[in-house]
């Protein structure tokens, strides 16, 4: 069991690579272990100062019956972010991406909003110009990784088992296997879930939240944490607008109420509308 | 339910904060939790109680200090309490608000008794 980042469910996490049909696990884990352990040990020694408070409760005024209720209570100052393990490893990933001049993008949405569809289009349309890698996060199956593999892009599937989000520790292990080249773009498709992945920094530069017009224009209000922590919002499936009561102006307003920095792009992955604007955004982010 | 992973992180931080050789019982775990931290407190306490069994924290109670969210309006500069994202500035109705406080999720101290 891996206790490096306290994610707890690591024994159920597995890594698969479609093109090589490998099932990767043990070795990478051991490497990660020894290293991260050193870290955490240093930390807890530095930061936990111990204070011994002796509470001698002898409220007795007569000297005859002096009971000594000296139960010892030790208060240890911890002063640590509960997610510090995840945040620390996310910083490590961030340093890795920076050193390799990589752009890492975390894609989040409800199940079925079109994360994999957007990736398939993007990888096919831009693969001559840019170098891509993909990490797929799903509880079960390698279906999404197989779809990415079919585009000719190097991909690693993480199956989180019961886990409802990816964390920075899983990404760290995935990178050991994926071994991305410098100057590339890494897409991380998170587990379809608009709640839990919001809290877990993976070390990404950009967080892209996708909603589709079949979901309701109040989605940003219902799941504010995700919209607050994202840098770009993609509204997908605009080809279905004639058939659903989705007020796109209202959806934009709602998203901006939650996060006034948020950029918003409307696309249809199936029809191709708006994809150029998304590609322009990507190119701007890699500095082309 | 990310509160379960949070509870696991909590356990491992506690374990590593108790000095080796200390045979006492962890009785209190003090947390600072902001109202904008995306944590359901009930779910956190529930998760922690489930997984603390047979650990050094099996007798520990979570003592939560809730930290009121605070926002600052970019348009008019006023500072005001907020409980959730997407609330307008009470002075000028603007939604351009920066969060000053309320995203805390921190373990401040633990108490160990003999
Ligand atoms: N009409 C329409 N359907 C779309 C569009 N984009 C995706 N879909 C469909 O929506 C369904 C889900 O798309 P995916 O790309 O698998 O969604 P996802 O977000 O990766 O889903 P999970 O990984 O399961 O969370 C598929 O049936 C797609 O064909 C679109 O622009 N228009
Ligand atoms: Mg998918
Ligand atoms: Zn104002």
Could you report the per-residue pLDDT of A97-120, keeping only the tens digit for each? 999 999 999 999 999 999 999 999
ipTM of the complex: 0.90
**Is A8 close to B4, i.e. CB distance below 8 A?**
yes
Residue B37: CB atoms within 10 A of its CB come to 23
Ligand 1 neighbours (beta carbon < 6 A): A 109, 111-117, 144, 192, 236-237, 239-240, 268-270
Average pLDDT, chain A: 84
Task: Locate the ligand 1 atom nearest the alpha carbon of residue A117 and give its number.
Answer: 15
Residue A123: is its pLDDT beyond 70? yes
In a domain, A16, yes or no: no
**pLDDT value of residue A265:** 98
pLDDT of residue A43: 36
Confidence check: pLDDT of B94 > 60: yes
Closest residue to B8, CB basis, from A6, A225, A254: A6
Residue A112's pLDDT is what?
A: 96
Cβ–Cβ below 8 Å for A78 and B109 = yes
Options 3.40.50.300, 3.40.462.40, 3.30.2320.80, 1.10.287.130; which CATH number does B3-16+26-113 get?
A: 3.30.2320.80
Q: Which two tokens stand for residue A153?
A: 């892009």
Q: Nearest 5 degrees, angle CA A173-CA A174-CA A180?
A: 120
Read off the pLDDT band of A51 (50, 70, 90).
very low
Q: What is the pLDDT of residues B79-88, one digit of tens each?
A: 999 988 999 9
Q: How far apart are CA A229 and CA A206, in angstroms?
A: 10
**For chain B, domain boundaries:** 3-16+26-113
The CATH number for A138's domain is 3.40.50.300
**What is the C-alpha separation between A4 and A22, in angstroms, rounded?**
24
A195-213 confidence digits (pLDDT tens): 999 999 999 999 999 999 9
């Amino acid at each position: 069991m891996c206790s490096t980042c306290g994610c707890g469910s690591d024994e159920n996490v597995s890594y698969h690579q479609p093109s090589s049909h490998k099932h990767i696990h043990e070795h990478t884990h051991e490497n990660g272990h020894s290293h991260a352990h050193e870290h955490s040990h240093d930390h807890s020694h530095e930061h936990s100062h111990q204070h011994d408070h002796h509470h001698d409760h002898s409220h007795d005024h007569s000297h005859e019956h002096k009971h000594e209720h000296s139960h010892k209570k030790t208060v240890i100052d911890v002063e640590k972010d509960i997610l510090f393990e995840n945040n620390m490893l996310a910083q490590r990933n961030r340093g890795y991406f920076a050193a390799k001049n990589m752009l890492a993008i975390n894609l989040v949405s409800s199940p079925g909003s079109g994360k994999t569809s957007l990736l398939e289009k993007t990888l096919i349309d831009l693969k001559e110009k840019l170098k891509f890698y993909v990490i797929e996060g799903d509880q079960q199956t390698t279906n999404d990784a197989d779809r990415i593999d079919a585009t000719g892009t190097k991909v690693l599937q993480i199956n989180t088992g019961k886990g409802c989000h990816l964390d920075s520790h899983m990404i760290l292990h995935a990178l050991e296997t994926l071994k991305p080249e410098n100057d590339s773009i890494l897409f991380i498709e998170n587990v379809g879930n608009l709640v839990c992945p919001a809290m877990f920094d993976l070390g990404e530069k950009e967080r892209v939240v996708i909603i589709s017009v079949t979901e309701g224009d109040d989605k940003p209000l219902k799941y504010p944490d995700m919209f607050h922590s994202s840098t770009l919002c993609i509204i997908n499936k605009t080809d279905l607008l004639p058939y659903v009561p989705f007020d796109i102006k209202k959806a934009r307003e709602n998203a901006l109420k939650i996060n006034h920095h948020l950029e918003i792009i409307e696309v249809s992955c199936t029809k191709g509308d708006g994809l150029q604007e998304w590609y322009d955004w990507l190119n701007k982010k890699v500095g082309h | 339910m990310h509160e379960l992973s949070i509870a696991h992180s909590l356990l491992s931080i506690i374990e590593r904060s108790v000095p080796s050789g200390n045979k006492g019982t962890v009785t209190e775990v003090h947390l600072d939790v902001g109202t904008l931290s995306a944590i359901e407190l009930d779910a956190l306490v529930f998760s922690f109680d489930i997984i603390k069994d047979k650990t050094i924290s099996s007798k520990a109670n979570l003592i939560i200090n809730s930290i009121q969210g605070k926002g600052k309006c970019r348009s008019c500069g006023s500072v005001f309490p907020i409980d959730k994202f997407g609330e307008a500035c009470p002075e000028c109705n603007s939604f351009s608000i920066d969060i000053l406080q309320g995203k805390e999720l921190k373990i401040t101290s633990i108490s160990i008794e003999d």
